Structure 1
């Protein structure tokens, strides 16, 4: 697949998606090939990693029955110091 530098600027997401499908994208500037865009060798390994903050309160002893909106509202209430 070939793309111009303008395509790279305007459609970067589509070009990256093409590399994830296994395509190699040749970037041209003024009609001449200047660069090649390829996928990393193991993109699936990064997806398998789990964010350590995910489920942070899953085993909390203070688990409440509040919804997420209610929990955020409680956290945002002003404190009184006095």
Structure 2
């Protein structure tokens, strides 16, 4: 569904009802798409495991030690 910025200003409840039914609403300003209203998902799947390039990196075995080492100053004697 498409709606103008003016529709958003004056018909917020109707647009939110549309989004709550699962539809996406494209907001246009002067005929050009500017924003998209999409349904909000409560549950975001976040795992405790590392992902991406860190998943197989040996430095990720002891993350706390690695971060301490990165944050250590240049002139520390450790």
Q: TM-score range by the shorter chain?
A: 0.5 to 0.7
Match of 2:41 in 1: 41
**How far is 1:42 from its partner?**
3.1
Unaligned runs of 5+ in 2: 44-78
Unaligned runs of 5+ in 1: 44-82
4+ runs deviating over 4 angstroms: none
TM-score w.r.t. the length of structure 2 is 0.53
TM-score w.r.t. the length of structure 1 is 0.50
**How far is 1:41 from its partner?**
1.1
Match of 2:21 in 1: 21
Task: Return the structure number with greater helix share.
Answer: 2
* Distance in 2 between residues matched to 1:19 and 1:9, nearest whole Å: 16
Deviations 1:4-23 (A, max 9, x none): 00000000000000000000
